[in-house]
Amino acid sequence: MAESKLEKLKKHRKQSPINVVMVTLVIGFLILIACQLVFFGVTIQERTRTTDTAQNGSSGTTGTGSGIILTSSDIQLVSCSNDDLADAVAAVRRAVVNIDVASADVGSSNRRGGPALSFDMPSTAALKTNEETLGSGVIIDARGYILTCYHLIEDYATVNITVFSSTSVRRIYKANVVDVDIANDLAVLKIESDEPLPAAKLANSDFVKATDTILAVGSPFGFEHTVTEGIISNNKRSIVIGNTVYEDMFQADAAVNRGSAGGALINGEGEVVGVNTAIVSPSGYFSGVSFAIPINKARPLLLKAIDG
């Protein structure tokens, strides 16, 4: 028997919601497949671009694990070359002088401190044999003002300064003590010269920090203009020598030996950041730890001595 129109209409209405759901699911599935294809294509393209960049050695680019591409212009190595150090030494070399002193009281010892910590001074045996002792100093004004350590000259009647105008020419001057700062182990000497003397530039030692590269210039064992390299191990070290406390000293690992006291501690620009003064030395010789007076501690004495 043929279905009536009413029954067909009822059956069609029951199937319509099912058809809508099916169509919706099919459309959603197609959209999902399309999105995956687009994403996969972009990923393949990006990987290909990165691989090509990494393999292209002439392009000067570098890939990183994070996907960031750095060009050669973005990368800069921070270092101090040998040429930089040579220029730094050349800037201060002629301003570093030798200090020769003759003992006024032969047999007295100018060495301070316990067995492990001492000023960079000659041995007692050297003093007893009336040998001239050697130290160093730095010309800080072209008119002949020289900065050095007080402990080098405190017990000596005569102080002679050797100035090196070149590798083969040197002149010896008699120096006068202008002023001293015993608390900081500093002294200012003055020599008279007919011509301006080479003077060192002074840095702001407040900016010196641990790990900074430094150079020590002095005359260990009489070998003038000896240069040693190291770093600042600590920029605010307190040490006790004898009964005196020295605060905020520079601790360094540049080799400093007898005769280096009073010499310049310089930065990579050739500017004086400190004055070498003491070593930790169970044997009397350098053992890897030296100390310098920050140059800013000398500024009040220099102003007083030079400018009056």
Going from N- to C-terminal start, the domains of the chain cover 83-307
Question: Residue 178 — pLDDT band, cuts 50, 70, 90?
Answer: very high
Strand arrangement of the beta sheet that strand 96-103 belongs to:
170-174, 156-164, 96-103, 133-141, 145-148, 186-190, 176-181
In whole angstroms, give the CA distance from residue 159 to residue 299: 23
**Using an 8 Å Cβ cutoff, are 214 and 256 in contact?**
no
Mean pLDDT of 24-28: 76
- Give the containing element (helix H, strand E) for 229: strand 226-241
Nearest in space to 298 (alpha carbons), one of 272, 278, 260: 272
87-110: per-residue pLDDT in tens?
888 888 889 999 987 644 433 333
Structure confidence at residue 14 (pLDDT) = 56
pLDDT tens profile 232-291? 999 999 998 888 899 999 999 999 988 899 999 999 999 999 999 998 877 767 788 999
Residue 213's pLDDT band, with cuts at 50, 70 and 90, is very high
pTM: 0.67
**pLDDT band, very low/low/confident/very high, at 33 (cuts 50, 70, 90):** confident
User: Quick one: pLDDT at residue 80?
Assistant: 53
* 185 has pLDDT over 80: yes
Are the C-beta atoms of residues 93 and 167 closer than 8 Å to each other? no
User: What is the distance between the alpha carbons of residues 153 and 147, in angstroms, rounded to a whole number?
Assistant: 12
SS3 211: coil
- Assess contact for 210 and 72: CB atoms under 8 A: no
83-307 to CATH, choices 2.30.30.100, 1.10.8.100, 3.60.15.10, 2.40.10.120? 2.40.10.120
Tracing tokens 């930089």 back to the chain, one arrives at: 84
